Amino acid sequence: MIRTYKQQATRWAALLVFLLISAHAFIPAAAQEKGKIGELVTFEDGSKGVLIQVERDGQSGWAIALRNAGTFSWASQATETATNALNKILTERSESKRALNDMLPLLRDTAGYAATQAIRAAAGGNRESYPAAFAVDFDHGWYLPTAGQMFIVYSLEPFIKKALEDNGGEVIAGSYWTSTPYNARCAWYLDAQLGIYEDPNGDGYKTKQYFVRAMRHWQASKPASTYTLAFDGNGATEGAMQPQTVNVGE
């Protein structure tokens, strides 16, 4: 069975679903202070992204990479047919959600970093086993988003499209892997036109070649604090020194 939100409602209805599962997605600008959806952010390593989610205090959230990492399969042919710990660990949760016919728990799963970490650990250092999870710069914090996180990208595409275009990025178009498995042979993916899919009949096969768009946690820089230190001499020499001003913070 294929599940898609485009068949049931417009992208605006999808945005409403997103608001229901993440009520703090849009908050007053005054409360956001450091970050807002659609804003370009630069990380310590020089990489850049566009914010697609901001917490209530405006100090943290998620950013999506400006460009695709390329096209990759979710898993290799050999991995797809093998029975391994990863399929058991990651699939059980997905199976239970599907049995309940409830999409909301799936969309609330936003632990992309942990999911990517689990996939890479299961590979045992063999990058060819799970190409999509190894296509991201995990060492610097980038990861393969979950189905829930990519649904947010789908919902907010009209709000981040201009930011991507204005900053030399690639708009969201085509199909993208998520780090959420459907079963041992298939995984959830995003069709930029139709929404989040799971298709055990072909398109969701892990050996398909889809885009990978990395995501990363964003934390606002702490404002610098200024302190004035007064010196009143240095012991026996009774020396004096003018007060010194230092900045503490980022």
What is the token pair recorded at 215? Answer: 């995501």
DSSP, collapsed to helix, strand or coil, labels residue 148 as helix
Using left for φ > 0, alpha for ψ between -120 and 50, and beta otherwise, residue 146 falls in beta
pLDDT digit string, tens, across residues 223-250? 545 555 555 555 554 555 555 554 544 4
Q: What's the average model confidence in pLDDT over 92-120?
A: 73
- Quick: pLDDT tens for 148-175: 999 999 999 988 999 999 999 999 999 9
Pairing mode of beta strands 175-181, 187-191: antiparallel
Please, which residues have CB within 8 angstroms of residue 184's CB and are 6 or more apart in sequence?
A: 80, 83, 87, 91
Tokens of 76: 């290799």
Neighbour count for residue 87 (Cβ, 10 Å):
19
Which comes out higher in pLDDT, residue 210 or 34? 210
**pLDDT on residue 57:** 86
Q: What is the CA radius of gyration of the chain?
A: 22
User: DSSP label at 236?
Assistant: G
The pLDDT score that the predictor gives to residue 2 is 43
How many CA atoms lie less than 13 Å away from 49 in the CB half-sphere?
29
**In the block, residue with structure tokens 């599962």:** 21
- What is the DSSP code (8-state) at residue 56? T
**In the predicted structure, residue 16 carries a pLDDT above the cut 80:** no
In terms of pTM, does the model score above 0.85?
A: no
